[in-house]
Amino acid sequence: MADEARFVPLETETPSDEEILRRAREFREAMASRRTVRDFDDRPVSREVVEELLRTAGSAPSGANIQPWTFVPVSDPSVKRMIRGAAEDEEREFYESRAPEQWLEALRPLGTDWRKPFLETAPWLVAVFVQKYGLDEKGERIPHYYATESVGLATGLLIAAVHRAGLVALTHTPSPMGFLNEILDRPDNERPFLLLVVGHPAEGVEVPDIERKPLDEIAVFVPPREE
């Protein structure tokens, strides 16, 4: 029966405890140098590279394995120009009137403003959409479970893949992002999740002097309990 659970052996390996610790450290160190960058070089990145990055993103776990994501990579200059225009319209509104003072205060250390030239400079904009529900052949809605969480996981893997490849990314969230459906011709069941700007950093780029929280501020280990 097609919809019964079927299992295949897990492709696995059994590294030693030392090897596991070594790899955990190595990956932690590799990821520690990842930074969000807002100044991009116009050096191209091949479509083949982007395809590999997206395959990694598509390997994320998802609710009921529905894989409720659509990635829309854009490199065409005229489409990038349209996206920049629409994003800057929203961002100008945001910075000049919509954003509460407290929000602007929180953003100050990042040095951002409404101008988004990177939306044209960077070689790729990957619009990430959440499929809120699916559609069967008859156009009936198919429920999706934990769709937003799943797309968040896939995007995290995508960001890690970008870094691992030696590229940089910016998670850009113009708000509202509905213009992405129009410009990129996506259907109503897809909601924009974010726009990932991908490419090479501009020469001599600087990033905000901000810190990551130490482990003891992000993790609370439960002590072993006495019986």
CA 34/CA 27 separation, integer angstroms: 11
Nearest residue to ligand IYR on Cβ basis? 112
Binding site for ligand IYR (CB under 6 A): 91, 94, 107, 110, 112, 172-175
Q: Minimum distance from CB of 12 to ligand IYR (Å)?
A: 38
Q: Minimum distance from CB of 89 to ligand IYR (Å)?
A: 12
| DSSP 8-class letter at 60 | S
CA 186/CA 190 separation, integer angstroms: 7
Q: Is the dihedral of CA 139, 71, 148, 145 positive or negative?
A: positive
Q: Which residue in 71, 176, 174, 185 sits closest to 131, CA to CA?
A: 71
Q: Which is nearer to ligand IYR, 66 or 82 (CB)?
A: 82
The answer to whether residues 183 and 79 touch, using CB atoms and an 8 Å cutoff, is: yes
Q: Which is nearer to ligand IYR, 210 or 222 (CB)?
A: 210
Q: Which is nearer to ligand IYR, 91 or 190 (CB)?
A: 91
Q: Which is nearer to ligand IYR, 59 or 173 (CB)?
A: 173
CB atoms within 10 A of CB 161: 20
Q: Minimum distance from CB of 215 to ligand IYR (Å)?
A: 23
Q: Minimum distance from CB of 106 to ligand IYR (Å)?
A: 7
